[in-house]
Amino acid sequence: MDYVRRDDCRSCGKPISQVLDLGSMPLANSFVSVEKLEAPEYKFPLSLAFCPHCYLAQVPDVVDPELLFRDYAYTTGSSPALVRHFENLAGVLHRFTVDSQDTVVEIGGNDGTLLSFLKPFCKVINVDPALNLADLNSGVTYIPAFFNHLSAQDIIREYGRAKVIVATNSFAHSDLIKDMAKGVSVLLRDDGVFVFEVHWVKNLLEDNCWDQIYHEHLCFYSLHALKNLLEPLDFHIFDVKIIPVHGQSLRVFASKQTEMVWPSVEMVLKAEREAGLTGISTFLSFGQKVTHNKDRLRTGLTNLRKRGARIAGYGAPAKGNVLLNYCKIHPHLVQYVTDTSKLKQGLYTPGVHIPVRSPDVLVTDRPDYLLLLAWNYKDSILEKEQKLRDYGVKFIIPVPEISIV
Ligand code: DWN
């Protein structure tokens, strides 16, 4: 089945309530080759729901993961700021792997960027379903599989149990999230630690990062929702950090031992209560704000084009494809988008079919405006492109509010 819609919470099983409808949406990472531009394209309903019982915000629209992840256009290495972030994370994880015989398993390790920093010190295994990324994982054991309770048992038979299990933006990507967590529990040594990074739902709501809602991101976590998911599985969250990645994310540390809990956990829980993350009204007002933002962005771009301005896009992230399709931004508004990823260059963005070009095009072609679709790297990009800006090219920042710099 390519698509199924849930009406129950994937964490606690109780009924969920829809808070935002983004309509029919193509798959955010399914870029289109020129040969397939006229062919039919997968589009599925996309919405956001909230569970008032365990506080998990979630996408109820479940697309077959074989369609989403087997041939994956996104590579971590295409974003230098993210590579630096993973080098820092590797240092944090290294504190838990004191022995070269220790094993670190990464769930959804993509092109092996994070594990490349750890492989000199311990055994490293990347469990990722993308068949097209295997060759990028040099020196890393690559298991082309979805991580779940079953594949965890296979890994134990072949490699033993893990001292560290890490998941950076993959612990929100499974409909069977409890089965994924059970896999972590059985694979992790009793003295092991589970470290994962997930987009923080507080950032989604407060910074209006609605373009982060797409079929790969099935869960939008608060620490409250994570506690309700993991504690029944005998995990204990003992530390949490708020990190400036993909907007704002939580870096969560959990183990199977009831060791001490750092004050950071209560601090984040308190911030979430104060932000209204345990009540549906906060999520309903977010939904209304998104609709307003969509209309403002499309009207703004249309007015610029009417005045003869030329607009291109900067970055072709998955979230950018949600924004382009939800706001119905076609090539007559945004002529092309640039992206550093060679896997995306020469292809077309899903749905609206805007051509993806190398950033080199900007050396000779200077549009009046660049719509910053990769807004989560705003600081590093604005710095990198200062020369373009000195020539008068303006950047349109779509999130959290539309601004021009
Ligand atoms: O969970 C996921 C998130 C965390 O990462 C996956 N669904 C896939 C991916 O989502 P994304 O595509 O929105 O991630 P990024 O890292 O925001 O994508 C940035 C894109 O922009 C990349 O394709 C690289 C490109 N880029 C660029 O062209 N010039 C990035 C930078 C920093 C640049 O200077």
How many Å lie between the centroid of ligand 1 and the Cα of residue 257? 35
**Tens of each residue's pLDDT in the chain, 405 residues:** 899 999 999 999 999 999 999 999 999 999 999 999 999 999 999 999 999 999 999 999 999 999 999 999 999 999 999 999 999 999 999 999 879 999 999 999 999 999 999 999 999 999 999 999 999 999 999 999 999 999 999 999 999 999 999 999 999 999 999 999 999 999 999 999 999 999 999 999 999 999 999 999 999 999 999 999 999 999 999 999 999 999 999 999 999 987 789 999 999 999 999 999 999 999 999 988 898 888 899 999 999 999 999 999 999 999 999 999 999 999 999 999 999 999 999 999 999 999 999 999 999 999 999 999 999 999 999 999 999 999 999 999 998 889 999
Question: Measuring from atom 14 of ligand 1, which residue has the nearest CA?
Answer: 317
Ligand 1 contact, 316 CB (< 6 A): yes
Residue nearest to atom 23 of ligand 1 (CA): 317
Query: How many Å apart are CA 85 and CA 89, to the nearest integer?
Result: 6
Residue 32 has what DSSP assignment? Answer: B
Given the structure tokens 């295409």, which residue do they identify? 78
Q: Report which ligand 1 atom has the smallest distance to the Cα of 214.
A: 7
Strand partners, 162: 188
Read off the DSSP letter of residue 14: S
pTM recorded for the entire structure: 0.95
CA–centroid distance, 200 to ligand 1, in Å, is 17
* DSSP letter, residue 64: P
Question: CA–CA separation, 339 vs 356, rounded Å?
Answer: 7
Residue 242 makes CB contacts below 8 A (sequence gap 6+) with: 200, 248, 249, 250, 251, 268
Beta-bridge mates of residue 125: 105, 141
Does residue 75's CB lie within 6 angstroms of at least one atom of ligand 1?
Answer: no
Q: Say if ligand 1 is within 6 A of residue 208 CB.
A: no
Q: Report which ligand 1 atom has the smallest distance to the Cα of 168.
A: 4
Q: How far apart are CA 55 and CA 42, in angstroms?
A: 30
Is the distance from the beta carbon of residue 30 to the nearest atom of ligand 1 less than 6 Å?
Answer: no
Q: CA 132 → CA 44, 110, 128, 136, 171, distances in Å?
A: 24, 10, 10, 8, 21
Whether the CB-CB separation of 163 and 106 falls below 8 Å is answered with no
CA of 79 to the centre of ligand 1 (A): 6
